């Protein structure tokens, strides 16, 4: 059976002018991820990543562990994350101004927690499907894109090969929910728990596609410095 590893990107740069780039910790998480894959004997023969900066930077960092590997990184826009900035701005138009948003979050004393509370509500509004015309990519369109991309990844995976897919939490959540038969809100229950640089494993064979593990992150625990993050 062919193995597909859905790999969430490392920590992005929350609060910076370019969220899409990895933080210094995110780069190190990528390297730890690569070493963990190599340690478990995973030798990739296909490498896919979304077109986002944080996807490619995570891939590059992880692949440092595989010296001499001659497998190209193929971009696949289908595994890109949803447009979280659009979801935020539709829920609260004032937050088109990111400086104003961060100032309001900072005023709470715990900007990360304040943002997470707001973001959960913004995502729930997006997912409920009652306001689809307001979004660049409605939830139903994003879900279809992710499931379609999954089918394409399966088609590209050789029967006994290992495919690495560097992607994001939203995409991984949709895939897991699809395979487990969960509803839309349950999909995002998965999303909130996914660790940066976590591993979700699928097996593809003649009898179908099987979800083997979700959100493996032991490789980020027990390290000399804190490595486990979720955003």
Which tokens sit at 92? 């609260």
Note whether 50 and 75 are within 8 A (CB): yes
Quote the CA–CA distance of 57 and 145 in Å, as a whole number. Answer: 23
Which tokens sit at 217? 């992150």
Per-residue pLDDT tens over the stretch 49-104:
999 999 999 999 999 999 989 999 999 999 999 999 999 999 999 999 888 888 99
- Using alpha carbons, select from 156, 184, 2 the residue that is nearest to residue 79: 156
Task: Give the CATH number, domain containing residue 6.
Answer: 3.40.50.1240
Per-residue pLDDT tens over the stretch 119-146:
999 999 999 999 999 999 999 999 999 9
* Residue 102: Cβ within 10 Å count: 16
Q: Which domain holds residue 32?
A: 2-82+137-220
Task: Look at residue 177 and tell me if it is in a domain.
Answer: yes
Quote the CA–CA distance of 29 and 12 in Å, as a whole number. Answer: 11
Phi, psi values for residue 36, rounded to 5° = -65, -40
Quote the CA–CA distance of 224 and 231 in Å, as a whole number. Answer: 20
* Residue 68: Cβ within 10 Å count: 4
Name every residue whose Cβ is closer than 8 Å to that of residue 220 and which is 6 or more positions away in sequence: 29, 32, 195, 196, 197, 198, 227, 228
Quote the CA–CA distance of 61 and 106 in Å, as a whole number. Answer: 31
Per-residue pLDDT tens over the stretch 169-208:
999 999 999 999 999 888 888 998 999 999 999 999 888 9
Quote the CA–CA distance of 204 and 34 in Å, as a whole number. Answer: 22
Res 16 pLDDT > 70: no
Question: Tell me, what's the pLDDT at 76?
Answer: 98
Confidence of residue 230 (pLDDT cuts 50, 70, 90): confident
Quote the CA–CA distance of 57 and 29 in Å, as a whole number. Answer: 11
- First-residue to last-residue Cα distance in the chain: 32
CA 204-198-195 angle, 5° bins: 135
Task: Look at residue 208 and tell me if it is in a domain.
Answer: yes
Task: Look at residue 166 and tell me if it is in a domain.
Answer: yes
Task: Look at residue 95 and tell me if it is in a domain.
Answer: no
pTM for this entry: 0.93
Q: Judging by beta carbons within 10 Å of its beta carbon (0-12, 13-18, 19+), is residue 37 exposed, middle or buried?
A: buried
Res 15 pLDDT > 70: no
Task: Look at residue 104 and tell me if it is in a domain.
Answer: no
How many independent structural domains does the chain possess? 1
């Amino acid at each position: 059976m062919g193995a597909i590893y859905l790999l969430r990107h490392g920590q992005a740069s929350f609060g910076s002018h370019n969220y899409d780039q990895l933080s210094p910790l995110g780069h190190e998480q990528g390297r730890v991820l690569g070493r963990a894959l190599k340690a478990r004997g995973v030798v990739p023969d296909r490498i896919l990543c979304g077109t986002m900066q944080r996807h490619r930077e995570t891939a590059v960092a992880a692949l440092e562990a595989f010296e001499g590997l001659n497998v190209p990184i193929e971009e696949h826009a289908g595994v890109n994350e949803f447009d979280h900035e659009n979801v935020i701005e539709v829920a609260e138009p004032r937050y088109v101004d990111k400086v104003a948003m961060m100032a309001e979050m900072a005023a709470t004393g715990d900007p990360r927690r304040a943002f997470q509370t707001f973001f959960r509500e913004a995502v729930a509004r997006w997912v409920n499907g009652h306001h689809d015309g307001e979004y660049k990519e409605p939830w139903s369109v994003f879900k279809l894109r992710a499931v379609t991309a999954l089918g394409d990844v399966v088609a590209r995976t050789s029967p006994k090969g290992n495919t690495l897919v560097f992607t994001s939490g939203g995409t991984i959540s949709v895939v897991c929910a699809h395979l487990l038969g969960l509803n839309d809100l349950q999909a995002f229950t998965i999303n909130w728990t996914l660790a940066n640089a976590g591993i979700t494993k699928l097996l593809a064979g003649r009898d179908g596609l099987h979800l083997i593990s979700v959100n493996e992150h032991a490789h980020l625990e027990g390290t000399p410095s804190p490595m486990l993050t979720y955003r």
